Structure 1
Amino acid sequence: MIPRPPRSSEPTAAEASAWADVLVRRRLLHAAVLAPTSQWLVQDRPNGPVRVLMGPADVVVLAATIQHHTRMMRPEAR
């Protein structure tokens, strides 16, 4: 696997919102809501605990983590 170069800028709220939308639409998260404090409230399943992410960077890291886990679980990745 080729390592990615480091980001040149911090993720924006728009980027975090786009990733949150994708994760919810693909049912990888139950909910992801931007709070007025710029924090994100995320929930993995309907009755699961709500986690608080501190900002857009945390949403992007969560998306990358979920994507990595999903790819590693594919049969061809084993």
Structure 2
Amino acid sequence: MHSRPSRPSEPTVAEADAWAYVLVRRQLLHAAVRTPFGQWLVQDQRDGPVRVLAGPADVVALAATIQQRTRSTRPESR
């Protein structure tokens, strides 16, 4: 397993926005919406529950988790 380098700073709102857009566009999430209070509402599936994420760091962490899951479930291409 590869160790992930530490981040020099906390994720920004712009970074979280970009990740949310990509996750929804690639259909890895059904919806991701930033609230005026800085929280995020995310929904994995159309009829699934809505989760509340506290801020940009949680969105980026979710993106990392989804990336790890998709990488570990796809067949290796050689």
Q: TM-score range by the shorter chain?
A: over 0.9
Q: Considering only aligned residues, what root-mean-square deviation do their CA atoms show, in Å?
A: 1.2
In structure 2, the gaps of 5 or more residues are none
Partner in structure 2 of residue 44 of structure 1: 44
Given the two structures, how large is their TM-score scaled by the length of structure 1? 0.94
Given the two structures, how large is their TM-score scaled by the length of structure 2? 0.94
Identity %: 71
In structure 1, the gaps of 5 or more residues are none
Deviations 1:32-72 (A, max 9, x none): 00001100000001111000000000000000000000000
Partner in structure 1 of residue 6 of structure 2: 6
Across the two proteins, how many residue pairs are aligned to each other?
Answer: 77
Deviations 1:4-57 (A, max 9, x none): 220010000000000000000000000000001100000001111000000000
Equivalences for 1:50-69 in 2 at 5 Å?
Answer: 50-69=50-69
State the SS of the aligned residue for 2:72: helix
> Runs in 1 of length 4+ with deviation above 2 angstroms?
none
Aligned mates of 2:7, 2:20 — CA distance in 1 = 19
